[in-house]
């Protein structure tokens, strides 16, 4: 049979139905346990994933801390008014604020938002500002406007304090607009200082003030993820050490969370994003809270004294690692410590006295070389001696094979590392050919976290990559191998998670958004089908007594789900012909006469989802008639099928 992924475009679809050998599922021979963490999420603030994306703040550069203090703001000039950027000494984390002086007349500042502001008819918007009067009396007149100036909502906010104070007001938008702007007009005569100008929709996830975009969190919640890895990704490492992610600067009051340049701002010359900064409104507390909301294990990844090796590759001398190690120990205290401890108390003060039950912690992101091992062992010793129950994630570098991988893999195995993080950004062919990758892994060695993977339609980091059906199908085939080897593979996550259509740097990505809409890619539906049909134990599924790993371009795995007493099958037909299979469920006396079948398919390998056709490639659900303990399944060409059948005692 020809490989469709190289020939289907030339040949078209054959559509021939083949008779196949029966597939056998040994229901009475359950194997490894599937970890609750098996299928999870990788989050990084890349592609405007956090600021401009998940974090629902609509004002860009709210504290004037971007490199250029007035970036995102436009002065609506008036000769009798002025704005001055001041830098105070007493608040080094957020030194800048603006002083507006006006002697009357129309004067204002307009914020352009993140590629505009997405606003919806009938939704309330909360504006707030930290301000103090210097002299006279000023009132802010707020105006949410369409690009053509049409007013969508207004409010007045008198500034009435001589000390720094938060002033806020809510107003409702009378229209829906993806590219709105906010005018802040200054009425009256006088001088006032302003900082932290903020605008949030009321309809955030769980209606939390200053919270997250509900549509995006809903897409994550629908996946029922087993873990949430955060905050990255290379963002953990930074372009240099000064730019590394420092969790302590992301907790506590918003106005003292130090803004940092986002490392993806200038990473790719072909996708420069000069206005990409991190405000950390989505900081470590919010990540833990999100993980809790999703029912996912939190998995923070910390800098291990190494900057991104694709950038400066700076390292901290081993003998000077203490502050980095201390950050890791303090993070465990922040997550799990009693409210009597310094960091546990901060968690409580932020609104979460109960612990977050952190069990997993990553030491470094995608590091490599002996310099990584030298630093990893220092972290491991310190963390394990104080918190032996915390399981550590270590890095196998950026590639799934080769010298760099071989070195790290060997060293980490000899160190008896808990969990090794493997990354694969590869072509669809690689995913199809590597469905057997873990079949021969050492069953007694470290566990595997497939921490970042995505099938690349063109090439790694190419802006031409697309989230095609072919890529998604190849991932589905590969994932049968992850599932079959759940005794070794304990966790897996596609990467990256989010991309803003007007602000991305890296493609492909699991979920695409603009200021108002979002959709899951075909890859999203593959991930979701796996994570919502996980099961609790691996079952052998064989053809001719052999694993089903690509012969006739068929891939399969099976699991048992103890709570529902169901057998769950995952079948990938990667060929360009439909295949009909009998599936014998061995060791089962009786099945319920109705099962469920989910099918994800497309006849176009290049099919993608889009804002206009968000569900072009998405699963259909059907009832499956079951007779006896045999199933007859016809698998469409290039399809991924999930079947659930219930065993009756």
By the criterion CB under 6 A, which residues form the site for ligand AHR?
44, 46, 232-234, 365-366, 398, 452, 495-496, 506
| Residues 316, 317, 318, 322, CA torsion sign | negative
d(CA 60, CA 645): 51
Cα–chain center distance at 394? 19
Residue (46 or 98) nearer to ligand AHR, CB: 46
d(CA 60, CA 68): 12
Residue (204 or 250) nearer to ligand AHR, CB: 250
- Picking from 68, 148, 153, the residue whose alpha carbon sits closest to that of residue 116 is 148
CB of 269 to ligand AHR, least distance (A): 17
Q: Concatenated DSSP letters for 453-514?
A: EEE-SS-TT-TT----HHHHHHHHHHHHHHHHTTTTEEEEEES--EEETTT-SS---SEEE-
CB of 234 to ligand AHR, least distance (A): 4
Q: Concatenated DSSP letters for 107-165?
A: EEEEE-BTTBEEE-TT-EEEEEEEEEEEEEEEEEEEEEE-TT--EEEEEEEE---SS-E
Q: Which of 366, 380, 422, 475 is catalytic?
A: 366
CB of 264 to ligand AHR, least distance (A): 8
Residue (281 or 496) nearer to ligand AHR, CB: 496
In sequence order, the 6+-apart residues with CB closer than 8 A to the CB of 235 are 44, 45, 46, 245, 262, 263, 264, 278
Residue (496 or 520) nearer to ligand AHR, CB: 496
Residue (139 or 311) nearer to ligand AHR, CB: 311
The two three-digit tokens of residue 67, written as one number: 């490199």
CB of 237 to ligand AHR, least distance (A): 8
Kind plus residue range of the DSSP H or E element containing 386:
helix 370-386
Count of CA atoms in the C-beta half-sphere (13 A) of 27: 24
Phi–psi pair at 147, nearest 5 degrees = -60, -30
CB of 30 to ligand AHR, least distance (A): 35
Residue (337 or 503) nearer to ligand AHR, CB: 503
CB of 421 to ligand AHR, least distance (A): 9
Residue (288 or 494) nearer to ligand AHR, CB: 494
CB of 343 to ligand AHR, least distance (A): 27
Asked if 528 and 223 count as a contact pair (C-beta separation under 8 A), the reply is: yes
- Kindly give the pairing relationship between strand 124-145 and strand 165-172: antiparallel
d(CA 314, CA 445): 31
Residue (233 or 503) nearer to ligand AHR, CB: 233
List helix spans (H) across 387-437.
402-414, 428-433
* 267 tagged catalytic: no
- Picking from 596, 545, 605, 546, the residue whose alpha carbon sits closest to that of residue 569 is 596
CB of 404 to ligand AHR, least distance (A): 13
Q: Which residue is nearest to ligand AHR (CB)?
A: 233
CB of 245 to ligand AHR, least distance (A): 11
d(CA 51, CA 516): 15
Residue 466 burial by Cβ neighbours in a 10 Å radius (0-12, 13-18, 19+)? middle
d(CA 224, CA 172): 33
Residue (185 or 453) nearer to ligand AHR, CB: 453
- Picking from 197, 196, 198, 191, the residue whose alpha carbon sits closest to that of residue 99 is 191
d(CA 418, CA 423): 17
CB of 228 to ligand AHR, least distance (A): 15
Asked if 238 and 303 count as a contact pair (C-beta separation under 8 A), the reply is: yes
Residue (143 or 267) nearer to ligand AHR, CB: 267
Catalytic machinery residues: 366
């Amino acid at each position: 049979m020809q490989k469709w992924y190289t020939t289907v475009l030339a040949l078209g679809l054959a559509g021939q139905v083949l008779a196949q050998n029966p597939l056998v599922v040994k229901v009475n021979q359950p194997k490894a346990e599937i970890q609750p963490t098996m299928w999870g999420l990788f989050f990084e603030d890349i592609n405007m994933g956090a600021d401009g994306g998940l974090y629902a703040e609509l004002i860009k550069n709210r504290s004037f801390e971007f490199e250029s203090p007035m970036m995102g703001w436009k002065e609506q000039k008036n000769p009798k008014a002025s704005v001055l950027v001041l830098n105070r000494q007493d608040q080094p984390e957020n030194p800048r604020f603006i002083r507006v002086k006006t002697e009357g007349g129309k004067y204002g500042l307009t914020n352009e938002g993140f590629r505009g502001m997405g606003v919806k008819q009938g939704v309330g918007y909360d504006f707030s500002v930290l301000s103090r009067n210097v002299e006279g009396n000023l009132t802010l007149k707020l105006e949410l406007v369409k690009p053509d100036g049409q007013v969508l909502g207004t409010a007045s906010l008198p500034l009435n304090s001589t000390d720094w104070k938060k002033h806020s007001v809510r107003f409702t938008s009378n229209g829906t607009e993806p590219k709105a702007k906010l005018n802040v007009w200054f009425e009256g005569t006088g001088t006032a200082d302003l900082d932290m100008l903020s605008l949030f929709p009321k309809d955030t996830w769980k209606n939390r003030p200053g919270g997250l975009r509900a549509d995006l969190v809903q897409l994550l919640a629908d996946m029922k993820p087993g873990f949430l890895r955060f905050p990255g990704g290379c963002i953990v490492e930074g372009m240099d050490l000064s730019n590394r992610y420092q969790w302590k600067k992301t907790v506590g009051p918003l106005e003292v969370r130090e803004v940092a340049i986002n490392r993806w701002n200038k990473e790719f010359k072909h996708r420069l994003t000069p206005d990409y900064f991190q405000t950390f409104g989505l900081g470590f507390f919010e990540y833990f809270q999100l993980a809790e909301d999703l029912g996912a294990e939190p998995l923070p990844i910390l800098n291990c004294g190494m900057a991104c090796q694709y950038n400066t590759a700076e390292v901290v001398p081993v003998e000077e690692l203490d502050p980095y190690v201390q950050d890791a120990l303090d993070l465990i205290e922040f997550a799990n410590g009693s409210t009597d401890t310094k960091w546990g108390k901060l968690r409580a003060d932020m609104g979460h006295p109960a612990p977050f039950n952190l069990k997993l912690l990553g030491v470094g992101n995608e590091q490599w070389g002996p310099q990584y091992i030298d630093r990893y062992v220092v972290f491991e010793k310190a963390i394990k001696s104080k918190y032996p129950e915390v399981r550590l994630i270590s890095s196998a570098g950026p590639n799934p094979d080769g010298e760099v991988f071989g070195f790290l893999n060997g060293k980490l195995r000899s160190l008896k590392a808990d969990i090794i993080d493997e990354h694969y950004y590869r072509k669809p062919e690689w995913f199809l050919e590597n469905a057997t990758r873990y079949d021969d892994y050492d069953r007694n060695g470290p566990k595997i976290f497939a921490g970042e993977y995505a099938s690349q339609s063109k090439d790694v980091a190419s802006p031409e990559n697309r989230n095609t059906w072919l890529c998604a199908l190849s991932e589905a085939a590969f994932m049968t191998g992850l599932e079959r080897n759940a005794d070794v593979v304990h966790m897996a996550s596609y990467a990256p998670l989010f991309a803003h259509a007007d602000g991305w740097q890296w493609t492909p990505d699991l979920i695409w958004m603009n200021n108002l809409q979002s959709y899951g890619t075909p890859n999203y539906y593959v991930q979701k089908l796996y994570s919502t049909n996980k099961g609790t134990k691996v079952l052998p599924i064989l053809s001719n007594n052999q694993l089903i790993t690509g012969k006739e371009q068929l891939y399969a795995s099976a699991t048992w789900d103890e709570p529902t007493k169901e057998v769950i099958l995952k079948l990938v037909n990667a060929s360009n012909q439909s295949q009909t299979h009998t599936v014998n469920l061995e060791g089962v006396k009786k099945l319920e006469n109705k099962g469920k079948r989910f099918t994800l398919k497309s006849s176009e390998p290049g099919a993608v989802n889009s804002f206009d056709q968000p569900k072009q490639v998405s699963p259909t659900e059907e009832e499956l008639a079951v007779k006896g303990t045999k199933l007859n399944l016809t698998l469409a060409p290039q399809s991924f099928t999930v079947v659930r059948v219930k065993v009756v005692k």
